[in-house]
Chain A
Amino acid sequence: MTELKKANVYRGIPAAPGIRIAEAFLFKKDIERVVEEDILDVDKALENFNEALVKSKDELSKVFSLAVDKLGEKRAALFEAQIMILDDPILIKTIVDRIIDEKKNSEFIVNSEFLKYQNLMSMSEEPYMKERSHDIEDIKNRIIRNIRKKKWKSRITEEEIILVSNSLTPADTVLFSRLKVTGYVTNFGGLTSHAAIVARSLNVPAVVGLHEATENINNGDRLIIDGFNGIVVVNPDDEQLEFYQRKLKKLSQADIELAKLKDLPAITLDGKKIDILANLDMSEELELIIQNGGEGVGLMRTEQIFQEYDSFPSEEEQTTVYSNYAQKLYPLPLTIRAFDIGGDKVLPVDVREPNPMLGWRGIRFLLDNRSLFKSQVRAVLKASIHKNIKFMIPMVASFKEVKLTRVLFDECKNELTNEGVNFDNHMELGIMIEVPSAALMIKDLADEVDFFSIGTNDLIQYMLAVDRGNDIVSNQYQEFHPAIIRTLYFIISEAKKYETKVTLCGEMAADYIALPLLVGLGLDSISVSGSVIPHAKQIIRALNYKEISELVAVCLKYKTEKEIHDALDKFYFDKFGESSKEFYSN
Chain B
Amino acid sequence: MIEEKVEIINNAGLHTRPAATIVKIAAQFESEFFIMKDGFSINGKSIIGVMTLAAAKGSIIKLTFDGIDEVEMSKAILEYFNRGFDEL
Interface residues in chain A, defined as those with a beta carbon under 8 Å from any beta carbon in chain B: 77-78, 80-81, 84-85, 88-91, 114, 117, 120-121, 124-126, 128-129, 132, 136, 309-312, 314, 347-351, 369, 371
- B22 → A minimal CB distance (Å): 11
Q: Would you give 27 A-B contacts (Cβ < 8 Å), ordered by A?
A: A78-B16, A81-B16, A81-B17, A81-B19, A84-B20, A85-B47, A88-B49, A90-B43, A90-B46, A91-B46, A117-B52, A120-B40, A120-B52, A124-B52, A125-B54, A126-B56, A128-B15, A136-B51, A309-B17, A310-B15, A311-B10, A348-B12, A349-B11, A349-B13, A349-B54, A349-B56, A350-B12
Q: Which residue of B lies closest to A74 (CB)?
A: B17
CB-nearest residue of chain B to A341 = B11
Number of interface residues of B (CB under 8 A): 28
Please tell me if the beta carbons of A84 and B23 are within 8 angstroms of each other in the complex: yes
Q: Which of A81, A120, A312 contacts B20 (CB 8 A)?
A: A81
In B1-56, which residues have CB < 8 Å from any A CB?
A: 10-13, 15-20, 23, 27, 40, 43, 45-49, 51-52, 54, 56
| Pair A132/B12 contact, Cβ less than 8 Å | no
Interface residues in B57-88 by Cβ distance below 8 A to A read 57, 85-88
- Asked if A136 and B48 sit within 8 Å, CB to CB, the answer is yes
Select from chain B the residue with minimum beta-carbon distance to A89.
B45
Cβ–Cβ contact B45 & A90, under 8 A: yes
Known A126-B56, A347-B12: A91·B48 in contact at CB below 8 Å: yes
Q: Which residues of A contact B23 (CB under 8 A)?
A: 84
Distance in Å: Cβ of B60 to nearest Cβ of chain A:
15
Closest B residue to A312 by beta carbon equals: B87
Given A78-B16, A126-B56, residue A311 in contact with residue B87 (CB < 8 A): yes
Are B17 and A117 closer than 8 Å at their CB atoms?
no
Question: Inside 8 A of B57's CB, which chain A residues have their CB?
Answer: 349-351
For B12, the chain A residues whose CB sits under 8 A away are 310-312, 347-350
**B11: which A residues are within 8 A, CB to CB?**
312, 347, 349-350, 369
Interface residues, chain B, CB within 8 Å of chain A? 10-13, 15-20, 23, 27, 40, 43, 45-49, 51-52, 54, 56-57, 85-88
Chain B contacts for A351, CB-based, 8 A: 57
Residues on B with C-beta less than 8 A from A348 are 12, 15
Instruction: Give A85 to B45 CA distance when docked, in angstroms.
Output: 11
Question: Given that A88-B48, A90-B45, A90-B49 are known contacts, is A311 also in contact with B54, CB under 8 Å in the complex?
Answer: no
Residues of B within 8 Å of A125, CB to CB, are 54
**Interface-central residue, B10, B15, B20, B45, by most chain A CB under 10 Å:** B15
| Ranked 9 nearest A-B pairs via Cβ | A90-B46, A349-B13, A310-B15, A349-B56, A120-B52, A124-B54, A126-B54, A84-B47, A311-B12
A311 and B51 form a contact (CB under 8 A): no
B30, chain A: closest CB distance, angstroms = 13
Within 8 Å CB of B45, what residues of A? 89-90
A128 CA to B54 CA, complexed, in Å:
9
Chain B nearest Cβ from A415, distance in angstroms = 17
Closest to B18 in A: A311
A92 nearest in chain B by CB position: B46
